[in-house]
């Protein structure tokens, strides 16, 4: 059996642990197996750049951050766009899949990766997806590998900000990754004891937020607000995408937290500061839970290869591994429900969401 495997999109903790779990299962349970690791994500499949993986290649990578195969972003919207007289990127991949005589392609990635994997599946390639993203936004699975490590890193950053905020009697807006969904900000904010959490799913009101902060500062030394990078005001939420893009262009390169710090500082007497946690949330060694989750997801993906269950992506539901049909979940997003149990319980604990 000839298997292709690749890591695509943004990196996250646990990618190497998944590769390891997948390969160890294959080398142990599948006879005459050959595993081709494509380099730099889908680009490797397009350009036929790969390395053959051996048992020695996956020893000692359980704790290693990043990905030994490298990764790149290949915009889904460009997959079927022709450039001159040449084939589309999708056609290139399908052609190389056939030329290399692959029996199956295994893709480790997030939402965009899964959409492209679905296209390949529709084109007749045998594909299995493995759910990776610190955003935890893949539809149909309770959790994705990399998420819990990022939560721990973001929560630690928020807690560290609290000590300096207390020392200087300041208001801090701490920006957490999450452009379209707020799972990471929500979990990290709760775990770190943030006073307010601003999510893309719940538009905030600047005046009400300023009043909340002012009231808090009357009885304590600091306020820490966890801000998802995609958080937006009610004013922005009412705009069309183009209007919002033009509006934000007026702020230059300022991030959501930086814009908020500037706006709220005009409404309250206390000093406001912004901190962007950035890519540290995606790097480094995975936590113990993600090492476990990545190992079992990798091994289960290899099991699906062994039994010939293609056109699916692995999922976790109620602490059990399963799978979803790729075409059923591709293009769908798991968002934080504004009226969901976690948000409602957080509000009952006094956490403010900016309304």
Residue 45 and residue 158 in one domain: no
Residue 220 and residue 140 in one domain: no
Residue 153 and residue 142 in one domain: no
The number of angstroms, rounded, from the C-alpha of 182 to the middle of its chain's C-alpha atoms is 10
Evaluate if residue 31 carries a pLDDT over 90. yes
pLDDT tens digits, residue range 207-217? Answer: 999 999 999 99
Q: Which of 257, 282, 307 is the last residue of a domain?
A: 282
d(CA 209, CA 277): 22
Q: Does some domain include residue 308? A: yes
d(CA 135, CA 150): 9
Q: Which of 282, 297, 319 is the last residue of a domain?
A: 282
Residue 170 and residue 259 in one domain: yes
Residue 221 and residue 262 in one domain: yes
Residue 138 and residue 152 in one domain: no
Give pTM, 2 decimals. Answer: 0.95
Residue 168 and residue 96 in one domain: no
d(CA 180, CA 156): 22
CATH assignment of the domain containing 236: 3.40.50.460
d(CA 93, CA 100): 10
DSSP state of 204: B
Q: What is the mean pLDDT of the chain?
A: 96
**How many domains is the chain built from?**
2
Residue 93 and residue 222 in one domain: no
Helix/strand/coil percentages in the chain, nearest 5: 45, 20, 40
Q: Does some domain include residue 351? A: no
Residue 139 and residue 194 in one domain: no
Residue-number span of the structural domain to which 169 is assigned: 148-282
Residue 158 and residue 274 in one domain: yes
Which residues participate in catalysis according to the annotation? 135
Evaluate if residue 73 carries a pLDDT over 90. no
Q: Does some domain include residue 300? A: yes
d(CA 325, CA 323): 7
Q: How confident is the model at residue 148 (pLDDT cuts 50, 70, 90)?
A: very high
Contacts of 151 (CB under 8 A, 6+ apart): 184, 187, 188, 191
**Percent share of the chain, pLDDT over 70:** 100
Evaluate if residue 78 carries a pLDDT over 90. no
Q: Which of 282, 312, 345 is the last residue of a domain?
A: 282
Q: How confident is the model at residue 75 (pLDDT cuts 50, 70, 90)?
A: confident
């Amino acid at each position: 059996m000839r298997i292709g495997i690749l890591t695509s999109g943004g990196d996250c903790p646990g990618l190497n642990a998944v590769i390891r779990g997948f390969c160890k299962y294959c080398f142990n349970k599948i006879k005459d197996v050959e595993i081709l690791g494509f380099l730099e994500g889908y680009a490797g499949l397009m350009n036929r750049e790969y390395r053959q993986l051996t048992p020695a290649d996956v020893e000692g990578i359980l704790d290693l951050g990043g990905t030994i195969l490298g990764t790149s972003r290949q915009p889904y919207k460009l997959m079927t766009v022709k450039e001159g007289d040449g084939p589309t990127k999708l056609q290139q991949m399908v052609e190389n899949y056939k030329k290399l005589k692959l029996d199956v392609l295994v893709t480790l990635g997030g939402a965009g990766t899964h959409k492209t994997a679905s296209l390949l599946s529709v084109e007749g390639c045998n594909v299995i997806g493995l759910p990776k993203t610190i955003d935890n936004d893949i539809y149909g699975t309770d959790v994705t590998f990399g998420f819990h490590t990022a939560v721990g890193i973001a929560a630690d950053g928020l807690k560290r900000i609290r000590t300096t905020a207390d020392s200087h009697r300041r208001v801090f807006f701490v920006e957490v990754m999450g452009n379209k969904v707020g799972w990471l900000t929500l979990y990290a904010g709760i775990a770190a004891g943030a006073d307010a959490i601003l999510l893309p799913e719940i538009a905030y009101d600047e005046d009400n937020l300023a009043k909340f902060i002012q009231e808090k500062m009357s009885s304590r030394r600091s306020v820490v607000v966890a801000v998802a990078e995609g958080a937006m005001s009610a004013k922005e939420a009412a705009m069309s995408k183009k209007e919002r893009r033009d509006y934000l262009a007026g702020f230059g390169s300022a991030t959501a937290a930086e814009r908020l710090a500037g706006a709220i500082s005009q409404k309250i007497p206390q000093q406001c500061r912004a901190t962007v946690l950035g890519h540290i949330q995606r790097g480094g060694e995975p936590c113990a839970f993600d090492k476990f989750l990545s190992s079992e997801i990798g091994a289960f993906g290899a099991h699906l290869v062994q039994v010939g269950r293609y056109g699916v992506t692995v999922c976790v539901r109620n602490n059990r591994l399963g799978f979803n049909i790729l075409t059923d979940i591709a293009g769908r997003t798991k968002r934080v429900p504004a009226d969901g149990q976690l948000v409602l319980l957080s509000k009952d604990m006094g956490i403010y969401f900016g309304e």
